[in-house]
Amino acid sequence: MFESMRAIILAGGRGTRLAPYTTVFPKPLMPIGEIPIIEIVIRQLRHFGFRRVTLTVGYLAELLRAYFEHDRARFAGIDIDYSYEEKPTGTAGSLANISGLDGPFLVMNGDVLTTLDYSKLMDHHQKNKAALTIATYRKHVKVDLGVIEPDGAGFVSNYREKPEFDYLVSMGIYIYEPRVLRFIPPGEYLDFPDLVHLLLGQGERVSTYLCDGYWLDIGRHEDFELAAGEFARNRSKFNVD
């Protein structure tokens, strides 16, 4: 299914929440166990049949490229190329710089640890005939404080002690149809949420796919530590070997 399909990995961010490590080190090269997170992502894509990956790079791009060029044999079976940005154009705007996106393509963040089945994601996308499909995860959030709801005059209308909520959150993994690129002006800054609003405003269908496996966005120190522990305990579930 994926042999002729492009995968775009967004790998140009500064990773400021993981400072000071990311001051001199690109976030996608942060190791989960003994493997950088971006290598885990690429191994997973290869497992599902992807044969071409494009990395959108900017900050410390030379270190990312040096890592993949150092031992090409380890990435046999998958071609890796690069799209360079002199200045950031956003999580959607960077796609305007990539040529040859003539069929459905995958876009994802380069710091995601997940057991997502990409085949099921693609089947869902094709079934729903959407312009864009967002992989989602059910996130449980507990507020460890009393939450006050005031009325318009500032009087308490409700009080909830340590409420809990469930949300569907974006996993940072998407399937695009090529027509979405018409909504991304070359050279202009555009983040993904703004692109979704543009698509909805033009009557395009944006679908969601609920992942029933594991997912963690490794953006904070505490999440990085959680991911390392999960990967060590359940490595076989992540399709990297």
- Domain positions in the chain are 6-135+169-238
* Chosen CATH of 6-135+169-238 out of 3.40.50.300, 2.60.15.10, 3.90.79.10, 3.90.550.10: 3.90.550.10
- Could you give the percent of the chain with pLDDT greater than 70? 93
pLDDT of amino acid 91: 92
pLDDT > 60? residue 20 = no
pLDDT at 224: 79
Predicted confidence (pLDDT) per residue in 200-222, tens digit: 999 999 999 999 999 998 876 67
**Is the confidence at residue 6, as pLDDT, over 60?**
yes
For residues 8-35, average pLDDT: 70
Distant-in-sequence, close-in-space partners of 21: CB < 8 Å, separation ≥ 6: 15, 30
The total of other beta-carbon atoms located within 10 Å of residue 147's CB is 12
Tell me which of 84-93, 102-111, 142-151 is least confident.
84-93
Separation of alpha carbons 241 and 226, rounded Å? 21
Element housing 233 (H / E): helix 221-233
Q: Name the pLDDT band for 102 (thresholds 50, 70, 90).
A: very high
Residue 226: which pLDDT band, with cuts at 50, 70 and 90?
Answer: confident
Q: How confident is the model at residue 17 (pLDDT cuts 50, 70, 90)?
A: low
- Mention every residue, 6+ apart, whose C-beta is less than 8 A from residue 33: 228, 231, 232, 235
Calculate the average pLDDT of the chain. Answer: 90
> What is the secondary structure of 58-72 as a DSSP string?
-TTHHHHHHHHHHTG
Backbone angles phi and psi of 199, in degrees to 5: -65, -45
Q: What pLDDT does 114 receive?
A: 96
Split at pLDDT 50, 70, 90, the class of 14 is low
Tell me what pLDDT residue 73 has: 83
pLDDT of residue 61: 81
More confident residue, 19 or 211: 211
Q: How confident is the model at residue 13 (pLDDT cuts 50, 70, 90)?
A: low
Cross-strand bridge partners of residue 111: none
Q: What is the pTM of this model?
A: 0.90
Does residue 188 register a pLDDT over 80? Answer: yes
Whole-number Å distance between alpha carbons of 173 and 134 = 6
Q: How many H-runs (helices) and E-runs (strands) does the chain carry?
A: 6, 13
- CA 47 to each of CA 110, 150, 172, 238: distance values in angstroms, whole numbers, following the listed order: 17, 52, 19, 10
Alpha-carbon gap, residue 202 to 122, rounded angstroms: 23
